[in-house]
Chains A and B, each alone.
Chain A
């Protein structure tokens, strides 16, 4: 690695060093309490998958270039040069971490591994060694927003096709549009992933004055860890919400999108909620009713890390499930300590390249789900859903993996 590249990368590193980050880098006592926290370590038992070990890889570079002690006496903290080798280690550390922050609830100081890993992600982007596909997805997403007019037609055609599906399955009152788009002054802006069918059915049943966003919720910028692009993808939803003057922005079943929207959008004239919250609200207020006899088999729920542990949505899904079934079985350990599905942080989007790793690293998750004896495994995140389906076939768990919102839609009484 030549001097110039290194300087550029260190500049990126420097940008990341705010107060909180410095605290995170300084404070770890390497006490090892977080050892048991990581599902990857728990499943595979390799030292390199311990949260603190992941930090150390970043921390060594920090010590080397940003601390005097790293210059005077590097070996005392095992300070390490930023080299190609180091980049490889960073890659290993960061693309085996789902950013689930389970380790954060273990650590006596609450050190946020995900945040430290964001340095690593940025360095990898700087060195052009990040997973290509994530950047491609990010750029695609950015591109779509940039030339909205160009793609609007395609989008609208897609929606028209979907509407037929909605109408086919659920009754709809005359004069209503099944999937409204671009409604000025709507109450609720729904940010979906492609395929808004069940959500649309529920919104209509509840008589919500809603409108569908042009943009997809998922923020690939956050997966690849590029702050500029993350912001770009986020801001256009914020802008749309402001333009339509909505009161509430509802994020579909996508953990990353929800957390990015909720925690990075700053103070806005609208509320941010997850679709699970909205559904629970409809049920509580009696705006929709569900048929309990629809699902007779035992159900368990996987808390998506970004929605439950990191987003605080824990009671709502349980409320919904208790409306849907008499046989809801909680996983153990409880939500705050729930095992990650092993697919977060962009790992699922890497597809087959890391399928083997994803399956091995999530063994604890598969075991945890099976222990409940449930036949239906439901969740509220697209990423988790995909990962759980993969797990189901890999470990022959014999469960049916479903979206919580689809279950609500299927059990809707009309």
Chain B
């Protein structure tokens, strides 16, 4: 039980670096929401429809929060002593994620805040599921929407990130729980 507490509330970080902790919590919670949001795109599986409303939770703020915290993480690493601890991997990851999140959010913001309105959710869903079935199919509505380059970039960076993921320190997401168990004995 305490291991769960340690894993999800990061008490050690809160104690020693509260500002960092705030961003970390914001970031990770948003990230979770984001994953839930993406799952909605895979419309064919009912079980994934955990929260059934307008595709992405949080009215676009999730993307904003993510972008800001990622920038915070990034700039944090430019300052000594963190700078001397970091290796290129850490920067690449953050930049990659930032780009992914940023372009992803652009699409979202465009629709919600600037009233673009013509970015159809259904089409995204179609595209993603066609990918899943290994029969890529892009509806012309998507490519013609004027935001297509955003989508392409988003997907491109996301794929890079997913490729890098298993070999990088972000594996901490899976290892964190067993590790904290280890500490609590």
User: Which residues of A pack against B, CB within 8 Å?
Assistant: 20, 23-24, 26-33, 35-37, 47, 50, 52-53, 56, 67-69, 75-78, 104-112
Contact = CB atoms under 8 A, between A and B. Distances in A.
| Range class of the B interface residue count | 20 to 34
B84 A53 contact: yes
A47 B12 contact: no
Nearest to A34: B16
B90 A105 contact: no
B47 interface: no
Closest 6 CB pairs of A and B: A110-B183, A32-B82, A78-B87, A47-B84, A109-B179, A27-B175
A105 B180 CA distance: 10
A31 B12 CA distance: 12
**Interface of chain A, main secondary structure:** helix
Given A27-B176, A104-B183, A69 B167 contact: yes
A67 B168 CA distance: 11
B6 A110 contact: yes
A23 B16 contact: no
Contacts of B85: 30, 32, 35, 47, 50, 52-53, 56
Given A33-B17, A35-B85, 14 more contacts: A24-B179, A26-B172, A27-B171, A27-B176, A30-B86, A30-B169, A32-B82, A36-B16, A47-B80, A47-B85, A50-B84, A77-B87, A104-B183, A110-B180
B12 A105 contact: yes
Interface string B85-111: 111111010000000000000000000
Contacts of A28: 169, 172
B55 to A, nearest CB: 30
B58 interface: no
B172 A76 contact: no
A76 B89 contact: yes
A276 to B, nearest CB: 21
From A23, A52, A111, residue with most partner B Cβ within 10 Å: A23
B180 A27 contact: no
B20 interface: yes
B179 A111 contact: yes
B136 interface: no
Q: Is the interface of B mostly helix, strand, loop or mixed?
A: helix
B146 interface: no
**Residue among B80, B90, B170 with max Cβ neighbours from chain A (10 Å):** B90
Contacts of A77: 87-89
8 contacts: A20-B182, A23-B182, A24-B179, A27-B171, A69-B167, A108-B6, A108-B13, A112-B183
Interface in B65-87: 76, 80-82, 84-87
A110 B90 contact: no
A33 B80 contact: no
A27 B85 CA distance: 14
Nearest to B90: A30
A109 B172 contact: yes
Interface centre among B16, B76, B170, B171 (most CB of A within 10 A): B16
Contacts of A30: 82, 85-87, 90, 169
Contacts of B171: 26-27
Contacts of A23: 175, 178-179, 182
Contacts of A68: 167
Contacts of B20: 31, 33
Interface in B157-185: 167, 169-172, 175-176, 178-180, 182-183
A69 B89 CA distance: 11
Contacts of A29: 90, 169-170, 172
Contact of B13 (A33, A104, A112): A33
Contacts of B87: 30, 56, 76-78
A56 B169 CA distance: 13
B176 A109 contact: yes
B83 to A, nearest CB: 9
A35 B13 CA distance: 11
Contacts of B138: none
Contacts of B170: 29
B10 interface: yes
A56 B88 CA distance: 13
Contacts of B6: 108, 110
A197 B176 CA distance: 48
A67 B169 CA distance: 13
Nearest to A70: B167
Given A33-B13, A78-B88, A109 B180 contact: yes
Nearest to A20: B182
Nearest to A32: B82
